[in-house]
């Protein structure tokens, strides 16, 4: 881990695909800068080591997006998936999980849902398959 040790009482507010996918990323993302990398580390640490932490799924730009240089005027401008495409992915994931925006769950509850749903519907069409640990389940 690149960053500090995080505490279990942290609360995160994240987009659906960041909750569901960040722990499986194998990409380094160094080009996005140290603040982005530190937030990725915090998310991964929380998802893997803090079962009682709370994560709220939100619509639109989240804590990770705010640290990304590809977030401009509260919109993702990534060439790999702009804000509209990303919102569509988030909506598909929430539908698959039977959840709605602003739902807050403990990490262990998210993890149980994630395990039950892997691979997600969007995995087969995801352009990041080659950078993801889930590809082994496809």
Closest alpha carbon to 65 in 95, 23, 22: 22
Exposed, middle or buried: residue 78 (CB in 10 Å: 0-12, 13-18, 19+)?
middle
Kindly give, in sequence order, each residue whose CB lies less than 8 Å from that of residue 136, ignoring residues fewer than 6 positions away: none
Q: In whole angstroms, what is the distance from residue 73 CA to residue 57 CA? A: 20
- pLDDT tens for each residue of 25-64: 988 899 999 999 999 999 999 999 999 999 999 999 999 9
State the average pLDDT over residues 9-24.
91
- The pTM of this model reads 0.89
- pLDDT tens for each residue of 62-95: 999 999 999 999 999 998 888 999 999 999 999 9
Kindly give, in sequence order, each residue whose CB lies less than 8 Å from that of residue 76, ignoring residues fewer than 6 positions away: 61, 65, 68, 70, 82, 83, 86
User: Is-contact 43 64, C-beta < 8 A?
Assistant: yes
Exposed, middle or buried: residue 14 (CB in 10 Å: 0-12, 13-18, 19+)?
buried
pLDDT of residue 1: 44
Q: How is residue 31 annotated by DSSP?
A: G
Domains in the chain: boundaries = 11-137
Could you write out the three-class secondary structure of 76-128?
ECCCCCCHHHHHHHHHHHHHHHCCCCCCEEEHHHHHHHHHHHCCCHHHHHCCC
Helix (H) or strand (E) holding 43: helix 34-49
């Amino acid at each position: 881990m690149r960053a500090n040790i995080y505490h279990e009482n942290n609360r995160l507010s994240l987009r659906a695909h960041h909750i569901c996918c960040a722990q499986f990323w194998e990409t380094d993302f160094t080009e996005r800068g140290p603040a982005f990398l530190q937030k990725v580390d915090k998310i991964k640490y929380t998802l893997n080591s803090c079962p009682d932490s709370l994560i709220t799924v939100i619509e639109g730009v989240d804590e990770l997006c705010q640290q990304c240089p590809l977030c401009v005027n509260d919109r993702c401008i990534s060439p790999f998936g702009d804000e509209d495409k990303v919102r569509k992915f988030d909506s598909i994931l929430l539908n698959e999980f039977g959840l709605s925006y602003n739902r807050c769950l403990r990490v262990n509850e998210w993890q149980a849902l994630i395990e039950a749903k892997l691979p997600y519907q969007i995995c087969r069409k995801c352009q990041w398959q080659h950078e993801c640990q889930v590809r082994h389940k496809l």
